[in-house]
Amino acid sequence: MVSPLQLETILSEFDDKSEAWVLQDSESKKYVTIPDPRYPGKNPVRFFLRREDAESILVELLDQNPRLRGKEIFPVKVKLVPALKGIASDKKPGNADSFVVHSPNEVYEWLRERT
């Protein structure tokens, strides 16, 4: 199975201008967190390298979680490294306490396993 990108890879291959996609609630402006059994006790924000991957995960998320269907959640483009640094340096309790950056291959495998 393909894994999320490692922090060392992210920092070596991306800079402050590199863009990624994240799911965001348009009302609260908070990034959507999606729990993952690989990271118990964490509420990671998921970053995607392609808009299509963020959209695919959003469709799956809305299908699996009826509570979110009434929310206005959309993929938004962000500067990857500054967004990650913001999450890592945020000391106040919030909805996100970690992050994961997904490659297109990982998203493809994850979606394929769910169907």
* Six-digit token string for 22: 């994240």
pLDDT for res 106: 83
Residue 95 and residue 16: Cα distance in Å, rounded? 24
pTM as predicted: 0.85
Smallest Cα–Cα separation from 55: which of 39, 36, 87, 32? 32
Mean pLDDT, residues 87-93: 74
Residue ranges per structural domain of the chain = 22-114
pLDDT at 111 over 80: no
Q: Return the H-helix or E-strand segment holding 80.
A: helix 80-89
